[in-house]
Structure 1
Amino acid sequence: MSSPDGQDCRGLRADAESNRRRIIAAAQQVFGERGVSAPLTEVADRAGVGIATLYRRFPTRKALVEEAFEDAFAGYDASADMALAEEDPWEAFAGLVERMGALQAENRGFTHLIQSSVPLGHRRDGRRERTYRKTVEVIDRARAAGAIRDDVTPEDLPVLSFALAGILEVTRDDLPDAWRRHVAYFLAGCRPEAPATLPPAPAPLHLQRAMLRSGRRRQQR
């Protein structure tokens, strides 16, 4: 079957799919290097397509971000489900924290994404919000069982994510597993027998502001 100008429609579809794959691969690379607020012109250049082609495939930044990190989103949500399925409250909490660290280590762009303010709409049916609620449930269950100290809060995990992002930035090439030691320190400090009194947990509003500022700084680099 041919288009009005004589081109084979299957060829057009193949070209469009090839462009889509190149754009997604380029977005993962650029967002990993510069954060999810990086210029889309840079993504198009890296993919070897024009900016108009990028926008035909992905009309908004949100659409491109969601597609580029679909697998990472799925892994993040699956990690929370695995934690909820674990009977032992400590193993559930520790396993979730370790898997979150592994996701950051495997996907640098996803590290930037979970710290960003890029609005993710209803296409993923509120997956990030649902995953957050699951994480809160894991923490609440561990606290109620006495498996972690009473002052551990859900806001501690985004702060850990900031710390891991910095560690990964410096050690990724030479010490790719250095982040695991920091996670182990964090988990040891969450044990109920940990003696030190913690400073107050960050307020959710202040944490959100910090994430916004972090995204803006990364965009300005």
Structure 2
Amino acid sequence: MNPATAPAPTRRLRADAARNQQRIVAAARALFADHGLEITLDDVAERAGVGVGTVYRRFSNKKELIAEVFEQNVTEFAVAAEAAAAHPDPWLGLVQFFEYACTHLATNRGFSEVMLELEEDLERFTSVRDRIKPTIAAVIDRAAESGALAPGVEPSDFFALINMVDAVAAFSKPVNPSTWKRYMAIALNGVRSDAVPRQTLDVPPLTDDEVERAKTFVCTGRRK
């Protein structure tokens, strides 16, 4: 074999492997977002259009794949927080990040489940928190210093509010997947100062029938 030609197939295999990994991770992200963490690597392989063996060559188990997807999500959160901190209007920067966080959690079932699991893994949870918390605090502090926040509102309040909106999203998703946007606006109206215009409530509340149907879904899920 001519040594000069030997590296070519190696480079091609590396490129193929990189493309397969991107397809696998993209498929896993979509499946985790839609179905949570109960999916299998077989599901991922089918969605990515590759063999199961290819998935196992890149990730020895589902936990490794979850970690890769979660790392991408955290990186995107960090980028969103940095963009909000750089917004020329402190209040709009805060709104931008709050809407991003609520949207991401409300539409990504897997991310919410991983965050709940991380609370049991103190070291990893602390690492994630410490990575993004300072930037988020800076976003909120800028809004407070500009007079846009009501007195007494603290950065930790926003973590609670985001989780509250996420809980509404989880409850209402089976019957009305857009309702959470109403409560995101209500939450922002609750922390803003009188100097800042209120968010409009463009999304109506759940109807009585939708509330009853949502309760049915919750009860059915608990019995399973």
Shorter chain as normaliser: what TM range? 0.5 to 0.7
Q: How far apart, in 1, do the equivalents of 2:184 and 2:129 lie?
A: 22
148-157 vs 22-31, greater mean Cα deviation: 22-31
Q: How far apart, in 2, do the equivalents of 1:140 and 1:65 lie?
A: 33
1:43 — aligned with what? 40
* Higher relative contact order, chain-length normalized (CA < 8 Å, sep 6+): 1
How far off its partner does 1:108 sit? Answer: 2.5
1:130 — aligned with what? 131
1:144 equivalent to 2:141? Answer no
1:212 — aligned with what? none
Unaligned runs of 5+ in 2: 2-8, 46-50, 196-220
Letter in 2 for 1:150: P
Q: CA RMSD in A?
A: 3.9
Letter in 2 for 1:47: V
Provide closer, same or farther for how the CA distance between residues 23 and 98 of structure 1 changes in structure 2, counting only shifts above 3 A.
closer
How far off its partner does 1:11 sit? Answer: 7.2
**Pairing 1:180-191 to 2, within 5 Å after superposition:** 180-191=181-192
User: Contact (CA 8 Å) 1:28, 1:69: kept in 2 or not?
Assistant: no
Query: Which structure is larger by alpha-carbon Rg, 1 or 2?
Result: 2
SS at match of 2:40: helix
Q: How far apart, in 2, do the equivalents of 1:61 and 1:121 lie?
A: 20
- Deviations along 1:159-211, one digit per CA (max 9) or x if unpaired, are 223222222223335433211110111111102349xxxxxxxxxxxxxxxxx
1:203 — aligned with what? none
1:170 — aligned with what? 171
Unaligned runs of 5+ in 1: 2-7, 195-217
Provide closer, same or farther for how the CA distance between residues 19 and 76 of structure 1 changes in structure 2, counting only shifts above 3 A.
closer
Question: Which structure features the higher share of helix residues?
Answer: 2
SS at match of 1:170: helix
Letter in 2 for 1:43: T
TM-score computed with the length of structure 2 as normaliser: 0.61
- Deviations along 1:72-96, one digit per CA (max 9) or x if unpaired, are 3343122211211112222122221
How far off its partner does 1:143 sit? Answer: 1.9
How far off its partner does 1:16 sit? Answer: 8.4
User: Contact (CA 8 Å) 1:80, 1:96: kept in 2 or not?
Assistant: yes
Q: How far apart, in 1, do the equivalents of 2:14 and 2:85 lie?
A: 45
Q: How far apart, in 2, do the equivalents of 1:83 and 1:15 lie?
A: 35
1:87 — aligned with what? 88
User: Number of paired residues?
Assistant: 182
SS at match of 2:118: coil
**Pairing 1:7-156 to 2, within 5 Å after superposition:** 14=16, 18=20, 21-22=23-24, 25-26=27-28, 28-30=30-32, 32-35=34-37, 38=38, 42-48=39-45, 54=55, 56-59=57-60, 63-117=64-118, 129-156=130-157
- Deviations along 1:100-151, one digit per CA (max 9) or x if unpaired, are 11222343322333444176999xxx67533221001111222223211232
Identity fraction in percent = 28
Structure 1 segments, 4+ long, off by >6 Å, are: none
User: Contact (CA 8 Å) 1:28, 1:109: kept in 2 or not?
Assistant: no
